[in-house]
Amino acid sequence: MNAIITQTARAKLNYALDVLAPREDGYHDLCMVMGSVELGDTVTVSLRTDGAILAESNFPWVPKDERNLGVKAAKAFFAALGDTKTGAEIHLHKIVPVGAGMAGGSADAAAVLRALNTLTGAGLGSEELRRIGLAVGSDVPYCITGGMALAEGRGERLTSLPDLPPCWIVIAKPGFSISTGELFRQIDSRIIRTRPDTAGMLSAIRQGDLGGVARRMYNVFEDALPRRSREIFSIRGELLSHGALGAVMTGTGSAVFGVFDEENAARKAREALSGQYRACFLTRPAPGGAE
């Protein structure tokens, strides 16, 4: 049991996000167009023989218990196998900012599931890993394979989409996070008057029309942001002023990203924003498939 697997847990971005009806299970039906980016955490996993699940991170404030989705994923994996004797050691080298709407924790959990599947020789397929992952978090099923996808239901009903044409993405996260629960309460208390043109975006993706995708980027949560979060619109405006084809908040925030068709413009935008925001990245879309 000395084998070690290291994986990249790639962040995700929401190109379109629509909130539909509340569900009886307390969640909401969603309709989202999501994509992986090259930016990601590094997750290293090895097995133990004493049943213990231990986690550590380059950030000491990252939880080491089940509040850490990687730990929660390992427990769910061994429970699904009915294995009470095998444990795991998990090391997370975090790069994806926490509380950004980029599924950093979910991507870590998915990487743990993939690694354990290989280390134990369980040989579970992607669908089975997604089923286990759904009990860990709504974004985990998507993060099992990543890539461009239409996600429906809680996020577990996935339809693979073609990769975006080559482009560059600049991401900036302000120094605050946003309560997911608060945003859903705000959404539930109002009539959503503007929704993403999801059908148009899917058509543009299938045609390889980057401009068409960028023009349709929209997140309904932006209309429910509390006043203290208005800095998000300033970031979006700055990205657009530097030549982004489109810019939008991802997930429930607070990170904002812009899509560029020119690398030079993207680099200049990242340079300008990095002076204001510590969490600022230049990256590219990543294709689907476990690494």
The catalytic residues are 12, 139
180, 252 Cβ separation under 8 angstroms: yes
User: How many angstroms separate the CA atoms of 100 and 213, rounded?
Assistant: 22
Contacts of 139 (CB under 8 A, 6+ apart): 12, 103, 106, 107, 155
147, 288 Cβ separation under 8 angstroms: yes
Nearest 5°: the CA angle 173, 101, 266 is 45
| Strands (E) located in 102-161 | 149-153, 157-160
User: How many angstroms separate the CA atoms of 286 and 269, rounded?
Assistant: 20
* Sheet of 246-249, strand order: 246-249, 256-260, 168-173, 279-283
